Amino acid sequence: MINIDRPIAPPQSLQKPEIQQYLQDLQNFRAGILLDQPKKPGSYRSSDLLDAFEDVFFSKCWLTEKKFNDTAELEVDHLVPQGEAPDRIYDWTNIYPIYSKANKIRPKSTPKGGYLDPCSPEDDVEREISYLLLPDGETIVFSTLDPSNVKALNTASLLDLVH
């Protein structure tokens, strides 16, 4: 995992009126104004989002750093899962490209303390997480430099899991 400098401006597809309406309807549903939960509009797989993932994340999975051979291997992941923060499912600061196999393995809930965010200047993943390549040449073991940093411990465990 490396630090990523994510531009502040989200791709245009994340700002569509139907997405903004969905987010407003979701707030109204949570407030009890709407009786039925709104349905999510459309897909994440817009060309501008895929282009942004290519530019910002260098066509790599945010967890494994494996390069995508084609967009069929790429899925959209949420740092804070959809079930925990449905209002952030289209939030540019919460979505990441993930390799499909890693997405299947990754837990769908956030551990207490959360994970390091490689796009946050407050979370320097390159200084908090270290790795060791074992003699077999394939196994990587991740650890944290500060055992009291819960976010780093959680992130190292997550990286061990997906690698």
DSSP string, the chain: -------SSPPGGGG-HHHHHHHHHHHHHHTTS-SSPPPPPS-S--HHHHHHHHHHHTTB-TTT-PBPSSGGGEEEEESS-TTT-GGGTT-GGGEEEEEHHHHHHS-SSPPTT----TT-TT--HHHHEEEEE-TTSS-EEEEES-TT-HHHHHHHHHHHHH-
Which one of 20-24, 42-46, 127-131, 133-137 scores highest in mean pLDDT?
127-131
pLDDT tens digits along 70-102: 878 899 999 999 889 988 889 999 999 999 999
Q: Write down the pLDDT at residue 81.
A: 92
pTM: predicted TM-score of the whole model, two decimal places: 0.85
pLDDT tens digits along 95-152: 999 999 999 999 999 999 999 999 999 999 999 999 888 888 777 899 999 999 999 9
CB contact set of 108 (below 8 Å; sequence gap of 6+): 81, 83
**pLDDT value at 163 more than 90:** no
- Both ends of the chain: CA-CA distance in Å? 11
